[in-house]
Amino acid sequence: MAAGTVHRMRLGLIRRSPVFAAGGLGLGGAVYAGTAATTWLHFGRERTREPDLLLDGFMPAYDLEERHAACIDAPAEATWRAAQHIDFNDSALARTLFFVRTLPTRLRGHAAEPEQQREGFLAQAESLGWRRLAEIPGRRLVMGAVTQPWKGEVVFRGLPPEEFAKFAEPGFVKILWTFSVEPRGAERSLFHTETRAVATDAEARRRFRRYWAFVAPGVKLIRLASLALVRRGAIAAAHPAAQRPMD
């Protein structure tokens, strides 16, 4: 190919790159807006599901529910350990989303959240105030807290299981999340997560609905990143030769 032709092609790509970038941003914005709108519309709707006696005991009715699952080529024991010790610093996607989430705080001139320590996800959650509500060792863990997530400085308040189930103080949101691991033969397992949340009064529900519609797209991406981290950690522990870089 002639040098002049190559030069013209490069100039064309340079001139079109802002158009491509703008198109990508526009598409991303459209996806974000669509996800936020769907989240707003589905907030508080009843869902058809199988009863879950453990979770229903803490929160039988709720404003939102999120479920995610992944089949993993590793024994249940390896997946269980990986789920407790995932480190979001190992995911470029999660690091980026956490940075974006702190931008409003940074722009207001407040100190950003300290960088996560490499102590494992479960230890981090408990250090932030989340409390264990129930546990089936090696198979299932349920965590819960009450909070006001729309505030600039979010505080998670853990409560004993009985108090959490009965908590109804106005102006708050009760949140619980669980992860479970089920064996699928000797060398495979199913990892499942579920999050439920319910506001304690109409004003908190209004605030929470607006907040959740705004953050839900990013939260969904973080949860997908967490599934990938659990998969990678479990496989690395069970089959060291199969470990590959994630980012």
The share of the chain scoring above pLDDT 90, in percent, equals 49
- The first and second tokens of residue 118, run together, are 């490499």
Q: Which of 189, 55, 27 is nearest to 134 (CA)?
A: 55
Q: Name the phi and psi angles at 143, rounded to 5.
A: -120, 150
* Across 51-65, 83-97, 105-119, least confident range: 105-119
**Higher-confidence residue: 46 or 111?**
46
Strands (E), 95-139: 131-136
Q: What local confidence, expressed as pLDDT, does residue 96 receive?
A: 53
DSSP of 69-134: EEEESS-HHHHHHHHHH--GGG-HHHHHHHHHHTHHHHHTTPPPPPPPPSS-HHHHHHHHT-EEEE
Q: How far apart are CA 53 and CA 25, in angstroms?
A: 44
* Across 26-35, 112-121, 186-195, least confident range: 26-35
| Span 131-155, average pLDDT | 94
Tokens 């993993």 correspond to 72
Q: What local confidence, expressed as pLDDT, does residue 168 receive?
A: 96
Q: What local confidence, expressed as pLDDT, does residue 219 receive?
A: 82
* Across 119-123, 163-167, 173-177, least confident range: 119-123
Report which DSSP code applies to 171.
Answer: T
Q: Which residues pair with 67 in a beta bridge?
A: 194
**The pLDDT of residue 176 is above 90:** yes
Q: How far apart are CA 191 and CA 246, in angstroms?
A: 19
Segment 30-59, tens digit of pLDDT: 544 555 556 545 555 656 567 899 999 999
The answer to whether 179 touches 192, Cβ cutoff 8 Å, is yes
